């Protein structure tokens, strides 16, 4: 028989306002096994934890029930308390009487009654708890960073700085990500390339960092500390270690009409290309879909001009297997497609562009060498209309836009407007907005400067329609503050497109078994207290893959993710989750049902000798669970026809006892 | 004579990663639903043995709801697919035994769907309340 202590938390007034905590403590006193019951204002505080520790000693408790907030919040806290008091940490159960009781029910009698029932269920479960000891597993001291944008770069640099080897996997031919495409950065207006490219060089020169560019993660197996990852290094038809990046092949390539992704299709590149001058690694890549040699077997000019002999038309995709202790996801974002936003005539006119295209237009390394010229006729635009929230905060148009605020658009539009007025004071600049959101250090000052010093016309209201007419764009918009319709003849319309997670994120989340929200942003383990960890152990989040972010926030999150990784890799051994499946070998009939449903391949079959009653020895095939691989989902326990398989910590008997307690 | 208002007894099995977190979120956002719903935490919806559901009805539950991650979002990759198949069979068998379809439900609630959790529970409780007490499977020997 257990000796159980029940500890009911008031959580200030969070619980005590709708649950009579004294009555709960009193009612649970008479439950089987309960020898002590108490209530306290804040059980999770030092004093509350001391109360538990003292009670364990004084009353010789073997099990603890804490009626408090969600176990997702403080289960770990109270397990530590139990361990400090000399109890097995898995002898603790939490009755969730805050999130699932006091916060959702309004009246005291029904709240109290439910709290008592939840407490009884927890007591019934603890009565059947057994001490569990987690297994240990080694830690591979190498980290994988998926994505080579500023988030991935900063994370990798910080991890390498602590002395651990890091690999970056980047799907594009170069690292740098979106930041490499930007012109200036708000609110300081320093040039993106000037602050990013030195970091890219640092990555290339750091002997702890390997870059797998033009590569994708194709398989992830294993668990925290022991991930087995397969990386597919796509054939770039250029020997990376031989190519010097001289660019002669790029110059000579006769296929020059391929839309240049780096400039968002606003100019062309050749079939063999280096995305931009500061690319890292600075190695040419052949676009297999555009190269005549690879398509038709004719040409081969690049191979002839390459003095280093780096071209290899026979190169194949290469699969690289590596072990990692931790994985950082830094897959970043993309602007959403503007195709569905017909009202802005994006697909009808070349002079309706997105903000990222505007960045390239104003970038000295861009298609117009930094001169602000409209894409259609390369004339200088005199009236520019910026439209904010295109697809953002779009609850009513969820099928084409996003419900959330993309966060960065207000600031970059202020930057674009300001820079335009600064360079071309003869230009009229209009910004249409729903709200201007500028929380952040020096952000609001920046926006005020755009309005007050640079004379940008900020108009509250949305653009209803953009119609191309001759060489003008007729913009019809509403001015909500003055309550009138506006008609503007614009030369250029810039759409602040909402941002969304990169398309590669969803399949990656499936491989990682990491959770995502409905918008495909990765979910953090706790929105406030564990913002850079994924709920999946050993997987960390960096940058815009977790939510819309600007560069300073991304860099700080990257550093935070790196410090978490370093903390993990600094350990020699990891303690695992003891709540794993285990099979009663005497009941197992070796049918393989459990093996077939296990998503982790944690179950194998072994031939085992059994002593039979007639003193003979029989060899039987029985299931055996590898506790280091088992994640404890319990699929096998239900599949097992003989009831041999059970899950520690969530045993059938325990759950049944909870059901009984609730239905009493 | 005073008639006591009928309060159904609902057992909800919630997976730890999505639905239990969704229930927590409903709490964080103070989205109320009837106190008749009692939640049991399981690691994954696929941990719910049909036996548990039968046991609940045997012991007098009026409705049982199982909540898991959305298809494709299972923390354990594929657990909720097993649940979906198992519960489809179980619920149709229960229907055959006279446990009305509205007394059983399988619902996908993500960790971000606090509002959906509360709405689901409100709706489920309403449906079960309309059906009244479950007497079909209740084992009176279990009652003192």
Per residue in A69-104, pLDDT (tens digit) is: 999 889 999 999 999 999 999 999 999 999 999 999
Residues A209 and A324 in one domain: yes
Q: Is residue B3 part of a domain?
A: no
CA atoms within 13 A on the CB side of B66: 28
Q: What is the pLDDT of residue A191?
A: 93
* Listed residue (A107, A33, A100, A106) closest to A67, CA to CA: A100
Tokens for A75, please give them.
Answer: 């289960």
pLDDT at residue A54, as a whole number: 95
| In-domain check, residue B4 | no
What is the structure's pLDDT at A264?
Answer: 94
Q: Could you say which of B31, B35, B49 has the minimum Cβ distance to residue A110? A: B35
- Comparing CB atoms, the residue among B21, B59, B86 nearest residue A659 is B59
- C-beta of residue A241 within 8 angstroms of C-beta of residue A221: no
Angle at A663 between CA A658 and CA B3, to 5 degrees: 155
% of chain A with per-residue pLDDT over 70: 100
Calculate the CA dihedral of residues A480, A482, A486, A491 and round it to 10 degrees.
-90
If one counts the domains in chain B, the total is 1
Q: Using one digit for the tens of pLDDT, what is the confidence trace for A244-286?
A: 999 999 999 999 999 999 999 999 999 999 999 999 999 999 9
DSSP A242-302: T-----HHHHH-S---EE-GGGTTSSEE-SEE-SSTT-SS---EE-TTT-HHHHHS---HH
pLDDT of residue A511 exceeding 90: no
* Residue A120 resides in a domain: yes
- pLDDT of A294-331, one tens digit each? 999 999 999 999 999 999 999 999 999 999 999 999 99
User: Does residue A379 belong to any structural domain of this protein?
Assistant: yes
- A73 and A30 share one domain: yes
First to last CA, chain B: 25
Which residues on A lie below 8 Å from B84 (Cβ)? none
Please name the residue of chain B whose CA is at the shortest distance from the CA of residue A659: B56
Counted domains in chain A: 5
Q: Is A517's CB within 8 Å of B112's CB?
A: yes
Angle at which helix A192-205 crosses helix A150-161, to 10 degrees, equals 40
Chain B, nearest residue to A600 by Cα? B76
Q: Could you tell me the residue range of the domain that residue B49 belongs to?
A: 10-142
- Chain B residue with minimum CA distance to A102: B27
Domain that holds residue A259: 248-305
CA distance A271 to A239: 16
pLDDT at A18 over 70: yes
What is the pLDDT at residue A67?
96
As a three-state string, the secondary structure of B1-25 is: CCCCCCCCCEEEEEECCCHHHHHHH
Neighboring chain B residues of A600 at a CB cutoff of 8 Å: 76
Pair A461, A432: CB distance under 8 Å? yes
The CATH number given to whatever domain includes residue A44 is: 3.40.50
Tell me whether residue A180 is in a domain: yes
Tokens standing for residue A599:
């998503």
What per-residue confidence (pLDDT) applies to A512? 85
Is B113 within the bounds of a domain? yes
Residue B1 has pLDDT above 60, yes or no: no
The interface pTM score, or ipTM, of the predicted complex is 0.96
Quick check: B144 pLDDT over 70? no
In terms of pLDDT, which residue wins out, A340 or B2? A340
The secondary structure of A151-207 as a DSSP string is: HHHHHHHHHHHTT--EEEE-SSSSS-GGGGG-SEETTTTEEHHHHHHHHHHHHHH-T
The predicted pLDDT at position A202 comes to 96
| Chain A interface, best mutation among B19, B46, B86, by max A CB count within 10 A | B46
CATH number, domain of A641, equals: 3.30.70.3270
Residue of A nearest to B52 (CA): A656
Helix (H) or strand (E) holding A353: strand A352-354
Determine the pLDDT at residue B3: 64
Cβ contact, residue pair B111, A647, below 8 Å: no
User: Do A50 and A40 fall into the same domain?
Assistant: yes
Tell me if B35 and A579 make a contact (CB, 8 A cut-off).
Answer: no
Residue-wise pLDDT for A431-472, tens only, equals 999 999 999 999 999 999 999 999 999 999 999 999 999 999
Mark whether A121 and A200 lie in a shared domain. no
**pLDDT confidence of residue A536:** 80
Is residue A214 over pLDDT 70?
yes
> Which of A332-336, A519-523, A651-655, B33-37 shows the lowest per-residue confidence on average (mean pLDDT)?
A519-523
Put simply, the answer to whether A650 touches B43 (Cβ < 8 Å) is: yes
Strand pairing category for B37-42 and B10-15: parallel
Write down the pLDDT at residue B2: 62
- Are A104 and B32 in contact (CB < 8 Å)? yes
The verdict on residue B100 lying in a domain is yes
A489, two tokens: 């003849």
Interchain pair B47, A634: CB under 8 A: yes
CB pairs under 8 A between A and B: 151
Residue A648 has which token pair?
A: 């520690």
Confidence of residue A627 (pLDDT cuts 50, 70, 90): confident
pLDDT-derived band at A421 (thresholds 50, 70, 90) equals very high
CB contact under 8 A, B28 and A71: no
CA pair distance A602, B64, nearest whole angstrom: 31
The answer to whether A390 and A495 have CB atoms below 8 angstroms apart is yes
**Rounded to an integer, what distance in angstroms lies between the CA atom of residue A654 and that of residue A651?**
5
The CATH number of residue B105's host domain is 3.40.50
Interface test with B, best of A511, A515, A523, A528 (most B CBs within 10 A): A515
Place of tokens 């709708």: A18
With contact defined as beta carbons under 8 Å apart, do A214 and A237 qualify? Answer: no
| Number of separate helices (H) and strands (E) present in chain A | 17, 34
Cis peptide before A618 (omega within 30 of 0): no
Mutate to test the interface with A, among B35, B51, B103 (most CBs of A within 10 A): B35
A475 — pLDDT class (breaks 50, 70, 90): very high
pLDDT digits 0-9 by tens, A387-407? 999 999 988 777 889 999 999
Are A296 and A324 members of one domain?
no
CB spacing of B46 vs A114 below 8 angstroms: no
Residues 24-63 on B with a CB inside 8 Å of A are: 24, 26-28, 30-35, 38-44, 46-52, 55-56, 59-61
- Same domain for A173 and A277? no
| CA distance to partner chain A, nearest, from residue B7 (Å) | 11
* Contact yes or no for B110 and A518 at CB 8 A: yes
Give per-residue pLDDT as tens, A127-160.
Answer: 999 999 988 889 999 999 999 999 999 999 999 9
For A601, nearest residue in chain B (alpha carbons): B76
- Å from B96 to nearest chain A CA? 22
B5 occurs within a structural domain: no
Of A100, A600, A655, the CB nearest to B42: A655
CB within 8 Å of chain A, chain B residues 66-125: 69, 72-79, 82, 86, 110-113, 118
* pLDDT at residue A344 is higher than 90: yes
Residues 6+ apart with CB under 8 A from B46: A597, A633, A634, A635, A638, B68, B74, B76, B79, B80, B82, B83, B86
Percent of chain A with pLDDT strictly greater than 90:
89
Q: Mutual orientation of helices A652-662 and B50-58 as an angle, nearest 10°?
A: 30
């Amino acid at each position: 028989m257990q000796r159980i202590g029940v500890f009911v938390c008031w959580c200030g007034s969070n619980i005590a306002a709708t649950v009579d905590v004294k009555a709960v403590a009193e009612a649970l006193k008479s439950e089987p096994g309960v020898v002590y019951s108490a209530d306290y204002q804040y059980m999770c505080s030092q004093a509350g934890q001391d109360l538990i520790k003292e009670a364990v000693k004084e009353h010789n408790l073997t099990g603890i029930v804490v009626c408090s907030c969600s176990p997702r919040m403080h289960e770990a806290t109270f397990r530590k308390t139990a361990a400090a008091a000399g109890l097995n940490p898995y002898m603790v159960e939490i009755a969730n009487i805050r999130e699932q009781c006091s916060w959702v029910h309004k009246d005291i009698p029904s709240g109290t009654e439910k709290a008592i029932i939840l407490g009884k269920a927890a007591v019934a479960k603890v009565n059947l708890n057994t001490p569990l000891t987690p297994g240990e597993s080694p830690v591979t001291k190498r980290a994988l960073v998926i994505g080579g944008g500023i988030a991935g770069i900063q994370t990798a640099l910080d991890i390498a700085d602590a002395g651990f080897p890091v690999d970056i996997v980047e799907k594009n031919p170069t690292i740098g990500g979106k930041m490499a495409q930007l012109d200036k950065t708000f609110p300081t207006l320093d040039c993106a390339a000037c602050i990013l490219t030195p970091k890219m060089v640092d990555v290339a020169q750091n002997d702890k960092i390997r870059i797998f560019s033009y590569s994708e993660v194709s398989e992830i197996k294993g668990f925290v500390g022991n991930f087995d990852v397969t990386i597919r290094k796509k054939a770039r038809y250029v020997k990376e270690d031989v190519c010097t990046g001289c660019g002669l092949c790029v110059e000579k390539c006769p296929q020059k009409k391929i839309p240049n992704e780096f400039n968002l299709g606003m100019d062309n590149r050749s079939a063999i290309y280096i995305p931009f001058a500061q690319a890292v690694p600075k190695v040419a890549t052949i676009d297999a879909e555009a190269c005549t040699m690879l398509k038709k077997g004719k040409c081969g000019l690049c191979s002839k001009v390459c003095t280093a002999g780096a071209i290899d038309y026979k190169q194949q995709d290469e699969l690289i297997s590596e072990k990692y202790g931790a994985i950082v996801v830094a897959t970043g974002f993309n602007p959403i497609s503007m195709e569905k936003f017909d009202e802005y005539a994006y697909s009808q006119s070349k002079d309706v562009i997105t903000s990222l295209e505007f960045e390239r237009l104003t970038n000295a390394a861009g298609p117009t060498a930094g001169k602000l010229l409209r894409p259609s006729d390369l004339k200088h635009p005199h009236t520019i209309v910026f439209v904010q929230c295109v697809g953002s905060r779009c609850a009513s148009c969820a099928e084409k836009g996003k419900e959330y605020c993309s966060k960065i658009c207000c600031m970059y539009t202020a930057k674009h407007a300001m820079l335009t007025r600064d360079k071309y004071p003869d230009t009229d600049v209009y910004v249409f907005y729903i709200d201007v959101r500028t929380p952040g250090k020096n952000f609001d000052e920046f926006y005020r400067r755009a309005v007050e010093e640079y004379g940008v016309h900020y108009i509250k209201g949305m653009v209803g329609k953009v119609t191309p007419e001759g060489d003008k764009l007729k913009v019809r918009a509403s001015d909500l503050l003055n309550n009138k319709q506006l008609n503007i003849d614009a030369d250029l319309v810039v759409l602040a497109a909402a941002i969304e997670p990169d398309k590669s994120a969803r399949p990656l989340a499936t491989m990682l078994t990491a959770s995502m929200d409905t918008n495909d942003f990765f979910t953090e383990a706790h929105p406030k207290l564990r913002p850079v960890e994924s709920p999946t152990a050993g997987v960390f989040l960096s940058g815009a893959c977790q939510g819309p972010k600007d560069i300073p926030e991304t860099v700080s999150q990257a550093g935070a993710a790196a410090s978490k990784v370093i903390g993990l890799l600094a350990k020699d051994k990891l303690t695992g989750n003891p709540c794993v499946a285990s099979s009663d070998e005497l009941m197992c009939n070796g049918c393989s049902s459990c093996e077939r449903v296990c998503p982790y391949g944690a179950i194998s079959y072994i031939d085992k000798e059994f002593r039979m009653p007639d003193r003979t020895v029989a060899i039987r095939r029985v299931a055996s669970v590898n506790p280091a691989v088992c994640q404890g989902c319990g699929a096998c326990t239900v599949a097992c026809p003989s009831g041999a398989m059970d899950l520690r910590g969530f045993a059938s008997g325990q759950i049944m006892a909870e059901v009984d307690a609730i239905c009493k | 004579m005073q008639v006591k208002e009928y309060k159904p007894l609902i057992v909800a099995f919630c997976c730890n990663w999505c639905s239990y977190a969704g229930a927590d979120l409903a709490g964080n956002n103070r989205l109320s639903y009837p106190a008749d719903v009692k939640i049991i935490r399981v690691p994954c919806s696929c941990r719910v043995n049909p036996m548990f559901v039968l046991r609940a009805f045997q012991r007098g539950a009026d409705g049982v709801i199982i909540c898991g991650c959305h298809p494709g979002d299972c923390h354990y990759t594929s657990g909720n697919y097993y649940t979906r198949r198992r519960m489809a069979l179980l619920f149709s068998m229960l229907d055959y035994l006279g446990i009305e379809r509205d007394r059983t439900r399988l619902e996908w609630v993500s960790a971000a769907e606090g509002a959906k959790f509360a709405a689901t529970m409100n709706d489920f409780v309403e449906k079960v309340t309309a059906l009244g007490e479950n007497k079909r499977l209740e084992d009176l020997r279990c009652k003192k």
